[in-house]
């Protein structure tokens, strides 16, 4: 049977061979939460992992659940390869998300808070305030809180207010009449967004330097003062999560920047998708809130603690306890770069691979700064997806534009939750004289590339940076990503053609080495999987290793199933979503899937093919998802320098041998954490930190 025919085989379309995308994403958040329980992880970092799992869940509801709700409301029966309808998926999500939230608060209350208290880090509860503390809280309330609070009594003249997405609010039940004789019985108090949620007690009224009170506790303690002459019968925290996906009809707009800018305010007041309330809130009050937001009981999450766990993320920065955080590290710098005065000369001697955060992001900044200052550089072109408002990358581009270089920047305005920052940097670049475009209508520009055009000995040479992650200095210390610096003529020509494609009109040019979405990346991956499959059928060794964030696209999954059936050995290192089911007899016995969850967020995308001994390895900006392969502009670039290729293969093996931070996906869809057992303990991230610190 031909490969293309096998792809259409009914047996490979059986729903039980595919894991639901949304449920797989929830499983990832459970793995993140497990880090909060790991006693080998420093205590304040465990608190961070708890907050990350909560923040991830927020985005899950804002985007994924919101989208399913819209589909269910339109009576959509469209199902993915797992054959689960939107309504069925929402039902299972509700069950699993409720279990996850319950576990988050159990970990907070039973594990982390007692451990923090043992370390002298306390959240002092209202019932435990002594007279001095209570007096200080009252003073703080009167001078910092009261002047900016606006309680809203609910009556025909004061309808239920619009509640900001994910904001902290209180619903207050009242008895009695106010000064005008009104007896509404209910009021809403919205916590000021300008004030911190965690407040350190001053020296004169604390037993430890790290005694804190919650802003919510202060409001609770003095809520009676907001309703003089009335009796407060109850005060309960709540928070609503809204649909936060922006809708911009790109076929109908003339100016994408203005359209995105105009849509940003609507994100704060999208359709409601989840309600969180304190667990002491009476059922009738919870039902009142559900009615106001037009939600059902399945959308209600009662929590034993702060309704926004994310606010605890600020604690590690407020507490000077380096013994409770990961050890500080300085990203490494290879000897080739540390000794270099001219980065262009260094690149000409051979390709440079940067592995962040183990290696410094500074060479990327230096590449741009030197290009901006070098009189031989004529032009700089760059894509920006996520960069940050105070960016050295943007500073260098502004400097280059002011120096008279031809600077072209493709800014992706629709980088989710970074739209506002990207609009600001686009305006700044334009003011400096750079050419700013917003990519291609209908396709997000997700490719990560820089092109520097330099005149050398009467000819132009292209210098290129291609990456798997964003040009963001902060995330470069938190996310693992590869960056390749090269002056390979064909790669330079390919990147040049890609920028022409993004900034002008016309048909796409054929590229020599780079695979590109939405044109050749998908087919290029399928062809290479098929090649390994044919080699296995001929009795040759065949091997695929792929590391990325997500595997969802069903044609890729089917191709991997066929490859496994032919005998190809396949290892997938997938941080988050994996819809492929490994270890199914007769289908995926030769496929192993693992997820690495550690100090850094694994973000590198690397694809390795044995190719009958002529090994191929690629870095990419794309995951194997429909959106990356069909609806975005992405790059997948070959790594051909022998030393660089060997290094990437060696580092992939670290991830395959990791037995400290790895989770292995089972055929039933569950993940099991690996343990060293009798083997030498190995953490890929710790190993890379040790190696990069030594240079080369």
Residue 690 has pLDDT above 80, yes or no: yes
Q: Pick from 324, 349, 369: which residue ends a domain?
A: 324
CA atoms within 13 A on the CB side of 343: 24
Using one digit for the tens of pLDDT, what is the confidence trace for 21-49? Answer: 999 999 999 999 999 999 999 999 999 99
- Least confident stretch, 267-276, 329-338, 393-402, 595-604: 267-276
> Which CATH number goes with the domain that contains 162?
3.30.1840.10
Q: Is 222 a catalytic residue?
A: no
> Does 315 lie in the same domain as 370?
no
* Phi, psi of 606, deg, nearest 5: -135, 135
DSSP 103-125: HHHHIIIIIIHHHHHHTTEEE--
> Does 257 lie in the same domain as 177?
yes
**Average per-residue pLDDT in the chain?**
90
Using one digit for the tens of pLDDT, what is the confidence trace for 336-367? Answer: 888 878 999 999 999 999 999 999 999 999 99
pLDDT for the residue 184: 66
Residues 6+ apart with CB under 8 A from 228: 179
pLDDT for the residue 180: 56
Residues above pLDDT 90, as percent of the chain: 75
> Does 448 lie in the same domain as 594?
no
- Greatest mean pLDDT among 222-231, 412-421, 442-451, 662-671 lies in 662-671
178: in domain: yes
> Does 302 lie in the same domain as 154?
yes
Residue positions counted in the chain: 696
Region 142-167: mean pLDDT is 86
480: in domain: yes
Helix axis angle for 215-222 and 131-140, nearest 10°, is 90
605: in domain: yes
- Parallel/antiparallel/unpaired status of strands 231-242 and 272-278: antiparallel
pLDDT for the residue 256: 42
Region 140-157: mean pLDDT is 86
Region 517-535: mean pLDDT is 97
Using one digit for the tens of pLDDT, what is the confidence trace for 285-311? Answer: 999 999 999 999 999 999 999 998 998
Residue 1 has pLDDT above 80, yes or no: no
- Greatest mean pLDDT among 207-221, 242-256, 570-584 lies in 570-584
Residue 250 has pLDDT above 60, yes or no: no
Residue 587 and residue 464 in contact, taking contact as beta carbons nearer than 8 Å: no
Region 376-404: mean pLDDT is 89
- Parallel/antiparallel/unpaired status of strands 515-517 and 272-278: unpaired
> Which CATH number goes with the domain that contains 489?
3.30.870.10
> Does 243 lie in the same domain as 358?
no
Using one digit for the tens of pLDDT, what is the confidence trace for 52-97? Answer: 999 999 999 998 999 899 888 887 666 789 999 999 999 999 999 9
pLDDT for the residue 381: 97
pLDDT for the residue 695: 44
Residue 4 has pLDDT above 90, yes or no: no
Structural domain total, the chain: 3
Which of 356, 446, 462, 465 is catalytic? The answer is: 446
pLDDT for the residue 570: 98
58: in domain: no
More confident residue, 547 or 231: 547
Residue 247 has pLDDT above 80, yes or no: no
> Does 682 lie in the same domain as 616?
yes
> Does 555 lie in the same domain as 407?
no
Encoded tokens for 694: 């030594």
> Does 543 lie in the same domain as 508?
no
CA distances, 141 to each of 134, 188, 278, 481, 630 (Å):
10, 18, 22, 46, 54
> Does 508 lie in the same domain as 523?
no
Which helix (H) or strand (E) covers residue 343, if one does? helix 343-348
C-alpha–C-alpha distance, residues 394 and 400, integer Å: 10
329: in domain: no
More confident residue, 414 or 310: 310
> Taking the model in full, what pTM does it have?
0.92
User: For tokens 């002594």, what's the residue?
Assistant: 130
End-to-end CA distance of the chain: 49
More confident residue, 42 or 3: 42
> Does 287 lie in the same domain as 152?
yes
User: For tokens 């994100």, what's the residue?
Assistant: 267
pLDDT for the residue 28: 97
Residue 546 has pLDDT above 70, yes or no: yes
25: in domain: no
Region 491-508: mean pLDDT is 89
147: in domain: yes
Q: Pick from 289, 324, 359: which residue ends a domain?
A: 324
- Least confident stretch, 224-233, 481-490, 614-623: 224-233
Helices (H), 239-278: 256-267
368: in domain: yes
Structural domain boundaries enclosing 422: 335-513
Rg value, the chain, Cα = 27
> Does 424 lie in the same domain as 391?
yes
Burial class (CB in 10 A: 0-12, 13-18, 19+), 170: buried
Q: Pick from 269, 299, 324: which residue ends a domain?
A: 324
> Does 401 lie in the same domain as 316?
no
What is the three-class DSSP state of 380?
A: strand
């Amino acid at each position: 049977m031909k490969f293309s025919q096998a792809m259409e085989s009914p047996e490979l379309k059986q729903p039980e061979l595919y894991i639901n995308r949304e449920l797989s994403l929830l499983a990832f958040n459970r793995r993140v939460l497990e880090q909060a329980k790991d006693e080998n992880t420093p205590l304040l970092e465990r608190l961070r992992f708890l907050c990350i799992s909560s923040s991830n869940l927020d985005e899950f509801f804002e985007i994924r659940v919101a989208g399913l709700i819209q589909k269910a409301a339109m009576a959509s029966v469209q199902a993915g390869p797992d054959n689960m309808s939107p309504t069925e998926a929402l039902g299972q999500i509700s069950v699993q998300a409720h279990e996850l939230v319950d576990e988050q608060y159990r970990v907070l209350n039973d594990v982390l808070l007692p451990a923090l208290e043992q370390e002298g880090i306390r959240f002092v509860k209202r019932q435990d305030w002594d007279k001095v503390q209570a007096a200080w809280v009252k003073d703080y309330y009167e001078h910092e809180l009261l002047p900016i609070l606006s309680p809203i009594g609910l009556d025909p003249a004061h309808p239920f207010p619009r509640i900001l997405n994910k904001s902290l609010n209180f619903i207050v039940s009242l008895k009695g009449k106010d000064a005008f004789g009104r007896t509404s019985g209910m009021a809403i108090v919205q916590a000021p967004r300008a004030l911190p949620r965690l407040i350190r007690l001053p020296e004169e009224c604390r037993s430890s330097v790290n005694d804190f009170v919650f802003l919510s506790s202060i409001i609770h303690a003095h809520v009676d003062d907001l309703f003089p002459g009335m009796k407060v019968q109850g005060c309960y925290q709540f928070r609503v999560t809204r649909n936060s996906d922006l809708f911009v009809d790109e076929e109908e707009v003339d100016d994408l920047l203005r359209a995105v800018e105009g849509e940003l305010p609507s994100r704060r007041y999208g359709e409601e998708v989840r309600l969180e309330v304190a667990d002491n809130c009476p059922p009738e009050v919870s039902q009142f809130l559900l009615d106001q937001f037009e939600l059902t009981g399945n959308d209600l999450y009662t929590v034993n603690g702060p309704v926004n766990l994310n606010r605890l993320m600020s604690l590690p920065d407020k507490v000077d306890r380096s013994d409770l955080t990961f050890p500080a590290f300085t990203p490494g710098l290879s000897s080739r770069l540390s000794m270099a005065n001219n980065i262009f000369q260094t690149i000409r001697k051979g390709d440079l691979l940067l592995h962040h955060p183990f290696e410094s992001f500074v060479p990327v900044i230096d590449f741009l700064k030197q290009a901006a200052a070098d009189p031989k550089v004529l032009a700089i072109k760059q894509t920006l997806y996520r960069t940050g408002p105070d960016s050295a990358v943007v500073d260098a581009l502004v400097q280059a534009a002011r120096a008279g270089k031809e600077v072209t920047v493709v800014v992706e305005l629709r980088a989710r939750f970074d739209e506002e920052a990207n609009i600001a940097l686009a305006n700044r670049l334009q003011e400096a004289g750079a050419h700013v475009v917003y990519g291609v209508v209908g396709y997000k520009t997700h490719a990560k590339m820089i092109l520097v055009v330099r005149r050398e000995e009467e000819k132009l040479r292209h210098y290129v940076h291609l990456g798997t992650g964003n040009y963001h200095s902060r995330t470069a210390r938190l996310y693992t990503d590869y960056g390749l610096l090269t002056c390979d003529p064909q790669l330079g020509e390919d990147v040049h053609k890609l920028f022409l494609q993004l900034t002008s009109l016309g048909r796409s040019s054929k590229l020599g080495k780079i695979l590109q979405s939405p044109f050749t990346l998908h087919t290029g991956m399928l062809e290479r999987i098929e090649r390994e499959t044919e080699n296995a059928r001929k009795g040759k060794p065949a091997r695929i290793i792929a590391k990325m964030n997500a595997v969802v696209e069903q044609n890729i999954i089917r191709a991997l199933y066929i490859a496994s059936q032919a005998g190809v050995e396949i290892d997938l290192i997938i941080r988050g979503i994996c819809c492929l089911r490994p270890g199914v007899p007769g289908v995926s016995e030769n496929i192993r899937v693992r997820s690495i969850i550690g100090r850094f967020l694994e973000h590198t995308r690397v694809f390795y093919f044995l190719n009958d001994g002529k090994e191929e390895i690629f870095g990419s900006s794309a995951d194997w998802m429909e959106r990356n392969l069909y609806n975005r502009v992405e790059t997948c670039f070959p790594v051909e320098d022998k030393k660089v290729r060997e290094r990437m293969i060696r580092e992939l093996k670290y991830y395959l041998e990791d037995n400290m931070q790895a989770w292995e996906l089972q055929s039933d869809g569950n993940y099991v954490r690996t343990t060293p057992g009798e083997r030498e303990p190995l953490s890929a991230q710790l190993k890379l930190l040790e190696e990069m610190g030594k240079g080369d």
